[in-house]
Chains A and B, each alone.
Chain A
Amino acid sequence: MPEAFKFELVSPERLLVSEQVESVVIPGAEGEMTVMAHHAPVMTTIKPGVVTVKTAEGKAERYVVFGGFADIVPAGCTLLAESAVAVGDIDRADLARRIQEAREDVADAKDDETRSKAEQFLSQLTTLEGAILPA
């Protein structure tokens, strides 16, 4: 059995998770990564996606996060999310609204750089929607 480490998921409004876990899958800005105990220190921004937490008791929990960053040290992992909810509690209308806003951002973008950023964000959101729909 893998060693457990401390994982914390914090959103500006509250502390969502603070417990011993076996592993966490984080949607990093440059690809998903699984964090386990004694991970090398990494700091990464995260994109909108699903965080999968496997607790020390073997339960799997899934949370939807919209951007933020993760601070990983050998002793633990802290995920500062801009907004985070458990997958079961996600508000479809809210997600749809975010996608709509992202679409408008793409349409409003003035130069190529902002457009490509907005498009990237939009595609991340739609992937996210696809990932949680069957759940």
Chain B
Amino acid sequence: MPSLKDLRNRIASVKATQKITKAMQMVAAAKLRRAQEAAEAARPYSERMGAVLANITQAIGGGGEAPALMTGTGKDDVHLLVVCTAERGLCGGFNSQIARLARDHIRKLLADGKQVKIICVGKKGFDILRRDYAALILERVDLREVKTLGFVNADGIAKKVIQLFNEGGFDICTLFYSQFKSVISQIPTTQQIIPAGVPTATAEATDGGSAVYEYEPEPGEILSDLIPRNISVQVFRALLENAAGEMGAKMSAMDNATRNAGDMINKLSITYNRQRQAQITKELIEIISGAEAL
């Protein structure tokens, strides 16, 4: 049985922890709002990009003009996985979920006799994957110093991927990230970015586009400029979704922690009060029985 002093100390320490988790929750909530705004602000660009891309591929007619980034190398021997996770922990199962998805994928590819290469974005995914697949990791992109995610960060990653592709480093590139569905639900997702596949024109993309477009310069040239940019946009979107998801996961994890700490304080307080009362009763009995003995 812990002494009264021990109990007091424990209550004090749990209270301190609760204060910290509470503060972290509030910070995460504030950051979440900003991350969500950023994700929303980026949406028009990727939507328009998709529409334009669909339009232009339609114009070219999916012929042999399409660049290799879009059609792929025709093989699927070497896979590049870009695993995007958070830089920091304390956000529930957020990082491990993405890493698990990636690990399952890697296991399956290796079982099929494919070659796998990994690029880790974010420290946590790197830490998890390093345990099993250290030899497969090509490099790790560090975004810890980055305060606000900019397009340049995503562009940097996309450029690396494209350069690797042009050197013939891989055949298929898949992006792993967490889709931000709501504050309490983030869904780990895979998305193939190279080959991009040929998008089909949507009804929206074709409205008013029945007229023939004029291209400056040639469609093929625009397309070869457009596709790398589209990959950057996809990476950027993944990073933004991840940032929002991380904050959401952190917020609910910290909310849980705060609640748990509250429960713990309640329980400890009850034990503490009970024990104090027991001691008072014991002392009273001692005094009374002492007086009676006289």
A-to-B contact residues, CB < 8 Å: 8, 10-15, 28-30, 40-45, 69, 71, 73-75, 78, 80, 82-83
Within 8 A of A (CB), among B188-223: 208-209, 211-217, 219, 221-222
State which of B41, B49, B209 has its C-beta within 8 Å of the C-beta of A73: B209
Please determine whether B56 and A41 come into contact, CB atoms closer than 8 angstroms. no
State which of B55, B151, B212 has its C-beta within 8 Å of the C-beta of A13: B151
Please determine whether A42 and B216 come into contact, CB atoms closer than 8 angstroms. yes
- Nearest-Cβ distance from residue B204 to partner chain A, whole angstroms: 12
Contact flag A43-B55 (CB < 8 Å), given A13-B150, A29-B217, A73-B208: yes
Please determine whether B215 and A43 come into contact, CB atoms closer than 8 angstroms. yes
Cα-based distance from A80 to B151 in the complex (angstroms):
13
Contact flag A10-B48 (CB < 8 Å), given A40-B211, A45-B225, A69-B225: yes
* Count of B interface residues, CB-CB < 8 Å: 33
A residues near B46, Cβ cutoff 8 Å: 12
B residues near A11, Cβ cutoff 8 Å: 45, 151
Minimum CB distance partner of A46 in chain B: B216
A residues near B38, Cβ cutoff 8 Å: 13
Please determine whether B45 and A29 come into contact, CB atoms closer than 8 angstroms. no
Within 8 A of A (CB), among B1-50: 38, 41-42, 44-46, 48-49
- Nearest-Cβ distance from residue B33 to partner chain A, whole angstroms: 15
State which of B51, B216, B233 has its C-beta within 8 Å of the C-beta of A29: B216
Please name 7 pairs of A and B residues whose Cβ atoms are closer than 8 Å in the assembled complex, sorted by A.
A8-B48, A10-B45, A10-B48, A41-B209, A43-B55, A43-B213, A43-B215
- Nearest-Cβ distance from residue A113 to partner chain B, whole angstroms: 13
Minimum CB distance partner of B205 in chain A: A71
**A-B contacts besides A44-B217, A45-B222, 6 pairs, CB < 8 Å:** A14-B41, A29-B216, A40-B214, A41-B208, A71-B48, A71-B55
Cα-based distance from A49 to B254 in the complex (angstroms):
47
Cα-based distance from A31 to B154 in the complex (angstroms):
30
Cα-based distance from A135 to B149 in the complex (angstroms):
30
Cα-based distance from A82 to B226 in the complex (angstroms):
11
Cα-based distance from A14 to B48 in the complex (angstroms):
12
- Nearest-Cβ distance from residue B243 to partner chain A, whole angstroms: 13
| Interface bits B242-254 vs A (CB < 8 Å: 1, else 0) | 0000000000000
Q: Judge whether B162 is part of the interface by a CB distance below 8 angstroms.
A: no
Q: Judge whether B140 is part of the interface by a CB distance below 8 angstroms.
A: no
